[in-house]
Amino acid sequence: MKKRQIINIVNFIRAVEPREKVDLMKPVTEQIRLMKKHNLRGTFLLQYDALIMPEYSELLKELNSEQFEIGVWHEIVQPMAEKAGIEWRGRFPWDWHAHCGFSVGYTKEEREKLIDVLFEDFKEIMGYYPRVFGSWFFDSHTVRYAHNKYGLDAVCNCKDQYGTDGYTLWGGYYGQGYYPSINNVFMPAQTAENQLDVPLFRMLGSDQVYQFDSGINVDSSEQKNQGVISLEPVYEVAGGGLPEWVDWYMKENFNGECLTFGYAQAGQENSFGWDSMKDGLEYQFPLFERLQKEGRIEVEPLGDTGRWYKEKYKITPASAITAHTAYDDGNKNSVWYSSRFYRINLYGDNGKFRIRDLHIFNENFPDPYENEVCARNEAYYETLPVADGNRFSGNGVLAGIYFDSDNAKHDEMVFEEIDENTALITYGNVKITLSENNIKIESDKDFTFENRIGKDGGHLPQVKNVNEKEIKLSYNSSDYCVKLLDGVFVDNKTIRSEKCRIEAEFSV
């Protein structure tokens, strides 16, 4: 059965840009013009400072609601804080530092007041409560409160990134969407009882080959912040401003190898200015129009996708994102698989492959800012690492789980769907079956694989115990376990197959 291939155009609007002089209105009017011209439906999210400025709100109120959805972008700004009775601590009326510009920098009582100001003023100005809610990141109490009091159809947050703009979101459900845990919205819930019943979608359309490795420094122990390789039209070296990258991304991301549905978020925040995004959007939007007419993608508002997701899925399904090449290198390939229990990346490069990433999810892992106020410029959300080809690389070691050399060789990667939650990936004589809470690796001869680690960097889990059949780990005071149904642990980094097979499952 053909799977939906969805693009959400999400443009969000700020009224202040303190770093340089930018015409903040022109990107909005031009985005509207292009969406009308190419008959593309989508979403605008208003930051509070833009909401209370009539030139923005009146413009958006005039739009056809069948084509344009209006929601809220939740970064804290000076007029919003002051209306909530909170002293503004930012350097400018809008300040991107975490301790003042995001909900994590406020007490629970203050977070509720900020949501009430945003939602009540939105209703007063727009005539209804917003149903879609976005931010680069947000704490769990804020989303619980907003959804329980006002009702939400969808929320969105930033793609995975390390240190970019001071925000780290690492190890999460890699693409598409999921039902977040009520205890930690960055973690998918494993059970219906502990999930927040509003889907969370990952933004920006990451390059599924190169984005993860951005910032790697294999030759030293230094951890660098990541750059951005995404569908955002302002990125012209590699990303949404480069036509050949856009063509490659649309071909690979929407190739149907997704298990459930293909997904990407397009659009751009207005604070980059129109000149920075013009060429990228003027290439992307006609392409979206053509692909939609051909029946290859559907372009719709974020809220439509959220309502469809809630109707179709009662718990988080598995999903996959594949690329059979990089945009500039036919010898690379990548498979991202995410379920409500874990995420994994299989990565091929010049005829050899490794497990580049493996993180475990735990719905009871607490939000780091649940009862803490962030006092720093930076903020962090993480899951539970087993292998991390980015953060564990260094001192001459490119991290990941490596197969012995004979078994790692392959000519091509082949992806097959077994069922809605299960994928079979073949590399030469190695078959890897990815299921909701199970990984099975089979070959035509016995093999080993080794979890190579180059540096700690404060992100390594503690090994609490290891025997032939399981390894117990702990990270940020949370315990988790990898259990072997087939295969044996030789030590805490090496597994040897049994009867040409390794099969593992996870528990927390």
Of 150, 140, 79, residue with least CA distance to 367: 140
Are 94 and 14 contacting, i.e. CB atoms less than 8 angstroms apart? yes
Are 355 and 377 contacting, i.e. CB atoms less than 8 angstroms apart? no
Give the chain's domain count.
1
Distance CA 17, CA 160 (A): 24
Which 8-state DSSP code applies to residue 2?
P
Q: Which residue range forms the structural domain that includes residue 133?
A: 5-312
Q: Is residue 394 part of a domain?
A: no
Distance CA 51, CA 13 (A): 9
The predicted-structure confidence for 279-302, as pLDDT tens digits, reads as follows 999 999 999 999 999 999 999 999
Distance CA 185, CA 175 (A): 15
pLDDT value at residue 224: 77
Q: Are strands 438-442 and 430-435 parallel, antiparallel or unpaired?
A: antiparallel
Token readout for 29 is 């009017």
Q: Is residue 176 part of a domain?
A: yes
Q: Is residue 402 part of a domain?
A: no
Query: DSSP of 135-172, one letter per residue?
Result: -S---HHHHHHHHHHH--SEEEEPPSBSSGGGEEEESS
Q: Is residue 498 part of a domain?
A: no
CATH number of the domain encompassing residue 280: 3.20.20.510
Of 479, 191, 482, residue with least CA distance to 363: 191
pLDDT value at residue 407: 64
pLDDT value at residue 166: 86
Distance CA 343, CA 173 (A): 6
Give, to the nearest 10 degrees, the angle between helix 54-61 and helix 25-37: 10
pTM: 0.96
pLDDT value at residue 408: 64
pLDDT value at residue 217: 84
Q: Is residue 23 part of a domain?
A: yes
Q: Is residue 375 part of a domain?
A: no
Query: DSSP of 158-223, one letter per residue?
Result: PPSBSSGGGEEEESS--SSEEPBBSS-TTSBPSSGGGB-SS-EEE-S-B-TTTGGGTT--TTSSPP
Residues of the chain short of pLDDT 70, as ranges, are 1, 405-408
